[in-house]
Every structure is written in C-alpha cells, then in structure tokens.
Structure 1
Amino acid sequence: MSYLTDLQEGCKRHASAAFQLNYTIANDPELSGEEVHACAHYVDLCRKLGMAVEENFTGQATAFRAVARRVEKPVLKMAILAEYDALPGIGHGCGHSANGAMSFLAAAALKEMKDLPVDVDLIGTPDEELRGGKVIMCDQGIFKDYDFAVMVHVSPTETNANCHFLALDDYRIAFHGQTAHAASGPWEGRNALNGVMLALHAIDMLRQHVRPETRIGSYIVNGGEASNVIPDYAEVECCIRHSEREYLDKVVAKVMNCFKGAAIATETTYDVTQMGCKYDDFRWNETATQAAEKVLTEMGIPFTPPSDCGSSDIGNVSYQCPAVHVHLALGDTPMPGHSVGIANAVKAKSIEPIIVQGAEIMGRLAILLGTDEHTRTAMKAEFEGK
C-alpha cells in the first residue's frame, strides 16, 4: 500500500476513539491550566496505543508529550500540537476539543505507518487561551529539537493554509488612591477610577500615532463600589497586539507612559501585573505554507489567503522551528470565533468528518516532508535565513 492509503486506513481505525475524545472534552470543558480530565484522557488513549508518555511535561500539570513514532533513520522530526482548554462561560467556543482530537488521530494513524522516515511526537499544550503553555515549553527550548510543528484549528467558514498571528502582551493595571465621601469631602480623596479613565483616554489618543496593525483592547475590571464614595482602588486590563514583536515592545512602552502620566495627574499610584506569557508574532515560513496549500489542493479543500488574525502561543513555537497552523472551515454558516455557536458545533455529529479531514491534513504533511527532500531542505533553509 502507499503512504497515503496507510494514512487513510489508520485514520479509519482510530476515528471512533478520536470522535469520543472530542465529545468527552467538549461536554466537560475545563479552563486554561485546569484541563486535568482532558489531559488524562489523552494520556490514557496514547498509552493504550503503546506510546511512551511523559506527564507533567515542562513542569505543567496538564501538559504531556507522547512518542507516537520512532524510526531508525529519520529525515524529519515532527511535533503535532494538541490544545484542549475551554473558555469561561462558553465552553469549547474556540473548538479546542475538536482541534486536539484531530491531532490525536493524526498521531495514532502515523504511528502505524510503515517505512515513512519521520519521527512524530504528540505534544499536549494546555492553557492557550490565558497564559500560554507553549511559551513555557519554548522557554525551555523544547521545539528547537524539532524540524516542523503543526496543528489544525477549526474556523467558522474559511480554510487557510497558515495564519498570521499577532504578538500579544496583556496586563492588569491597578490604581490606588484615597477614599473619601463623594459629597461631604471629595477634596480629601484621590480618585483611583479617575486614574484609570484618564489613562484610557490617553491610550485612545495614542491610537492615532501607532501603526495600523496595532490592536489595543481594554476593559475596567473594578471601578469602585458606590457612586457616593471616592474609589481608592480601580483596575483595568489592557491587551496590546502587533504583527511584529519588536514594534509591539515599543507600543507597550508608550501605553505604560499613559498609565504613568495618568497617575501623576490624579495623584494616585499604580502597579502593573503581566497576565500570562508574552505571545510572539508568527514567523512565516513560505515553504511550509506552500506545502500545506499543496495538501489542501490535493484534498479538494478550497482555501483563502491568510490575513492578520488574533494571537496564539504557537507564534513562539514558530521561532524555534518551522510551523504551520491550518484553519479548517466547519461549514458555510457564519458565526463569531469564541462563540456558543462553535461550542455547539463541536458537539454535533457533523464535526466527525472535519476531525478526519484535519488529521489527514497533518498526516499528508508528514508524508510530503518525509518524502520530498527538496521541500524539506528549502523549509529548513528558509527558517535558518539561508
């Protein structure tokens, strides 16, 4: 049999286990860093297939690495990434239950293939939505040991061969003032909420003077308790993104000056807490992207050119090895990302062929890169800047 036939037969054999994995996780959504049950399901399934599994991978309680495939003379070492955290109040509105099930299915099918000169690991990467589990892995240099990393992520209506992710920093800024009665002695107070509001106005003015790829989002976490009390505490969260990490760092410095100036003007103090890890932008590899496009074309899956989208900790991975993050359309029904619509879609039976499609995309990429020396060498040379 051919490599492709082997892959497709493997996907058929393990499809029911992948479907059940998706449904189980979709109906038991666990928040970022708390994916205890989801991680345990993956570990159990991998061990049943004879994979050696490392739990508490990189010191993260809900991360794992499973050795799916080892060959005598590999020409490529590939990491298949699985995400499985959910969103507060929504569940799997980003589709991670299905995304991870695709990755498991791809790893299970590749494990049983004969002669393909590719080593494959399935890496469970928790906490993508909040703190960034992949960043912690990158801080330990994990992906420097791989030649290629891949995952497939569901999308409402459009398929893209790869994604332009924005670098991201997220902060909580707490202002501290002096409480006072708002009617009888407001002059005795220092209004922490005024500090927050003035900073937000300054940031709005800053938008005119930053590059158009910049995104700044914020909301007031705590603005006081009563209208007749000068608040001595107020808190705001501010998320800042840009398509390049170097420029983002400059924008962050400008935003921090807005908070500093507002504190001076309102005679308050403030402190800053970084929320989660710093997400890098996605380092583009055109060779790897074209390989993904070739696979989608061969499978008859229509796709559109990628545009700037949100942020993901796979951006950090892309600076340690070539990476591809495919967006795969659920269908033709428009719905927002991070929505109840997607959370419901991954629970429906119609998700099953999408899971198989996603697994086959990753498996075909393993075959292509494992058998096409020119593409494999070009991808590596592009990554190394040669």
Structure 2
Amino acid sequence: MKNYTDYLNLIDTTIDKYIDSIWELNLYMASHPELGEQELEASKRMHDFLQGSGYKTTLPYCDIPTSFCAEKGDTGPSVALLAEYDALPEIGHACGHCLHGSMSLLAGLALSPVLDHVPGKVFVIGTPAEETNGAKVTLAKEGVFDSIDLAMMIHCNDVTSYVDYRSLAMDAIEFTFDGQTAHAAGAPWEGRNALNGVQLFFHAIDMLRQHVKPSVRMHGIVSHGGDAPNIVPDKASAKFYFRAPERKYLNVVLEKIFNCAKGAALATETTVHWRNVEFSFDEMRPNKAAEKMLGEIFTECGVATINSPGPGGSSDMGNVSQHCAALQPLLAITDVSTPHHTRSFAKAVTTPQAKQALKTGAEILAKGTLRFILNTTLQEEIKKEFNSYR
C-alpha cells in the first residue's frame, strides 16, 4: 500500500478534470431551485455523474424518491459523503445546498480512481429536504449509517470557516386549540375562543423563558387564527420550533411546554392537541479526533479556521452523528458578511469565489477521506471516541 501523499496528485488531477462540469451543475441548480422532496432533476444529475465514474448507484434510495446512493470499494474502512440539494421557498439556494452538495459530488468523483488502489469503501449519498423533513433522519432510522465509520459533508458559510460545528436538537410542533363559534358582537358569551387559547399559550411560553437554560430557543407563529372578525374562532393553531443543545434536556423542556398548552386550554375553556409537523433533529455529537484530522486538512488546503461560535441552528446531520462519527465543517465562500437564508447568500453561491470554494471543499473532503482510509490508528481513535458516548 502506498502512503497518503502518493495519491494527492491523482485527487487534484481528477478534481481539475471535473471542476467545470460540476460548477455548471451548481449554476443549473442555483437557477432552477427545487424544494425539499421535489429535487428530481438535481438528484438525477448528481446520480448520473457518479454512475458514469465507476460507482454502483441506486436511485431512488430507501424509498425516498429524490435520494440516491453511490458506492465504490469492497473492503476496508467506510466513509459516507453526504450531498444536499434542496432550496428554500421564494429565495432559492439561500443556504448554499447547491454548492456544498456539489462539493460532496466532486469529492466522490475525485476518489473514484483512488479506490482502484486503496482498500476502502466510499458512499456518496443524496440527502434531500434538509430544510424541512430532513432525509438524513429517515436514512439514520433505516440503519444506513450504522455500518459507516465516518460521515462527512461541508456546509457553506459567508466569511469564516470552522471544523467543530455544533447544532441544537429540535422539535417542530403545531398546537391546535378547539373552542366554540358564536356571533362575536351579538352573543360572544356563547363562544369559546380558540384564538384566546393560542394567545395565552404564547404568553405562557414567554413566561417560561426565564425558567429554562439560556441556550434553549423557542419561537413560533400563529398558523391559523380564525376565519372572520365577527365569528368567535372555534379553531386556532400555532406552530413552534423548540431547540436545546441536547435532546435529553429538550425532552424536559417539552414537558413544561405541554403543561403550558394544557393550562392555556383550561383557562380559556378550550381543548388542545399537538403534533410534530416535521422530523425531529438531534444535536450534533462531537468527535474531537475526527475534527483534529480534518482541521489539519483545512490547513493543508490553505484554509484558515476559527473555533466554532457554538450551536446556532439545527440540522439532520445531528441524527447521523448519533449513529456514526460525523463531521459538518463550515467553509467560507465570500469575503463579505452575508447571512444564510437571504437573497444575497443565494447570489454568493454563483460567484467566481464560490467556484474556488467548490474546488477547495472537494479537496478537503477527498483528502480527509483518503487520510482516514489509510490511517488505522486514526480510525481506532475516532471509533473509540464515538463509542464513548454510548
């Protein structure tokens, strides 16, 4: 077996071979955004690239119409590179999925000729709908990652790069209050106002904030407030996201929240029920050994990194990290402060600087995969740390 450095030129040469084609794919996805679970064209085009480069491919995958799996290699340690490609309503690829999904694709293509010479197995897995019903949740439940040694993807960022990404566990829940209609002017006393239940529930949540840890996030909207001002609403709903750094504590908070809902219903003489309206996300489980390795690859590729600012959002990558060692570093794609989920960020993924980020991100993922496959000591360290959480 050769050493890590013996294959770097092969990775670089293959990336140079495909960079223009994958950049065109990124531009196509940016100009033809597809929402979660509707990414038919993006998933097919990615699948076709991998199928044409020597991967054994499956589309659809795990009964998810817009998920795919490409695999190459028979023995040795296994690495999964995860590709996202769903867009946001109205503002398109304002989270950069078209670009960082393309990084995973390009890295997979770069590793194909390497796998003809080294014992290892690489999967490139299409993971739709991260912004809503994240497919990684379903894939994790189906056991896709239970036999994977390391899963990786890169997420686009604006001006900073860091490896030690952290996320919050999250539940998306809609609360529906049921009351009794009445004429709001003629006989309001005959009604039971479901919207009052929602309003009181919001106040209860606001009061709860001082009795939960500062890291908890609770934010919601009124998803239905009635039908006409002169009718006492008999049905009203509120949709909330609840987040905490750990699933265990989030479950404690949820019990308090459910009591708030029941109390609001009791006070307004309504009834309330609730349901999860999106898949639940778990927190990102850290793996310092894997982060150290990939941080060295960032440096090797000329990318300066900072320490993580801490968890600020939620991702279905957290569910993956509960089943295998997983990394989701952030990579800067611009020099200008540009928040995610804005039209400005959607434009940033199509600039010449973004094309360079595509190349760099693919290099990081491909070289990180290679180093992991060839280093048995590293494999043992990462596995030992992952198992320590069980």
For Structure 1 versus Structure 2, the TM-score category normalised by the shorter chain is over 0.9
In the alignment, structure 1 residue 17 sits paired with structure 2 residue 8: no
Match of 2:94 in 1: 93
- Show CA shifts across 1:166-205 (max 9, x none): 1000011111111222211111111111000100100111
Cα separation, 1, equivalents of 2:374 and 2:53? 25
Contact kept in structure 2, 1:3 and 1:116, CA below 8 Å? no
The one-character-per-residue Cα deviations of 1:311-370 (angstroms, maximum 9, x if unpaired) are 100101111110110100112211211111111111233311110111011011112212
Instruction: Give 2:112's aligned residue.
Output: 111
1:59 deviates by: 1.1
Letter in 1 for 2:250: L
- Structure 1 contact 95–343 (Cα < 8 Å) conserved: yes
State the secondary structure of the residue aligned to 2:175. strand
> Whole-Å Cα distance in 1 between the matches of residues 98 and 235 of structure 2?
39
**Which of residues 12, 18, 26 in structure 1 aligns to 2:30?**
26
- Are 1:167 and 1:311, in contact at CA under 8 Å, matched by a contact in 2? yes
Contact 1:217-1:239 within 8 A present in 2 as well:
yes
How far apart, in 2, do the equivalents of 1:305 and 1:227 lie? Answer: 52
Tell me the residue number matched to 2:365: 362
Amino acid aligned to 1:47: Q
Q: Contact 1:168 / 1:278 at 8 angstroms: preserved in 2? A: yes
Q: Aligned residue for 2:81? A: 80
Structure 1 equivalent of residue 380 of structure 2:
377
Partner SS for 1:142: coil
Superposition pairs of residues 1-386 of structure 1, within 5 angstroms = 2-67=6-71, 69-71=72-74, 73-74=75-76, 76-113=77-114, 114-306=116-308, 307-385=310-388
Aligned counterparts of 1:309 and 1:40: Cα–Cα separation in 2: 32
Distance 2:333 2:178 in 1: 47
Q: What amino acid is aligned across from residue 143 of structure 1 in structure 2? A: F
**TM-score if structure 2 supplies the norm length?**
0.95
CA distance in 1, matches of 2:117, 2:43: 30
For the Cα contact (< 8 Å) 2:173–2:275, is it kept in 1? yes
CA contact (8 A) 2:194 2:235 kept: yes
Deviates more, 1:283-292 or 1:36-45: 36-45
Q: Deviations over 1:139-184 (max 9, x none)?
A: 1111011100000110011101131111000011111111222211
Give the Cα–Cα distance (whole angstroms) in 1 for the partners of residues 17 and 161 of structure 2: 26
**Number of equivalenced pairs:** 383
The alignment-based identity, stated in percent, is 38
TM-score by length of 1: 0.96
Offset of 1:117 from its aligned partner? 2.8
| Contact 1:118–1:366 (CA under 8 A) maintained in structure 2 | no
Out of 175-184 and 105-114, give the one that drifted further.
175-184
SS in structure 1 of the partner of residue 65 of structure 2 = coil
Structure-2 separation of matches of 1:120 and 1:345: 30
Instruction: Give the letter for the 2:202 counterpart.
Output: L
Q: Distance in 1 between matches of 2:186 and 2:91?
A: 44
* Alpha carbons 1:163, 1:309 under 8 Å: kept: no
Separation of aligned partners in 2, 1:262 and 1:202:
8
What is the CA–CA distance in structure 2 between the aligned matches of 1:367 and 1:63, rounded to whole Å?
25
CA distance in 2 between partners of 1:205 and 1:365 (Å): 47
| Mapped contact 1:263–1:270 kept (Cα < 8 A) | yes
Cα contact 2:15–2:107 (8 A) shared by 1 = yes
4+ residue runs over 3 A deviation:
none
Structure 2: which amino acid aligns with 1:136?
T
- Counterpart-to-counterpart distance in 1, 2:300 and 2:28: 32
- Look up the SS of the partner of 2:145 in the other structure: helix
**Secondary structure in 2 matching 1:357:** helix
Secondary structure, counterpart of 2:267 in structure 1: helix
User: For the Cα contact (< 8 Å) 1:27–1:347, is it kept in 2?
Assistant: no
Rounded to whole Å, the distance in 2 between the matches of 1:292 and 1:120 is: 17
Range moving further from structure 2, 272-281 or 91-100:
272-281
Unaligned regions of 5+ residues in structure 1, if any? none
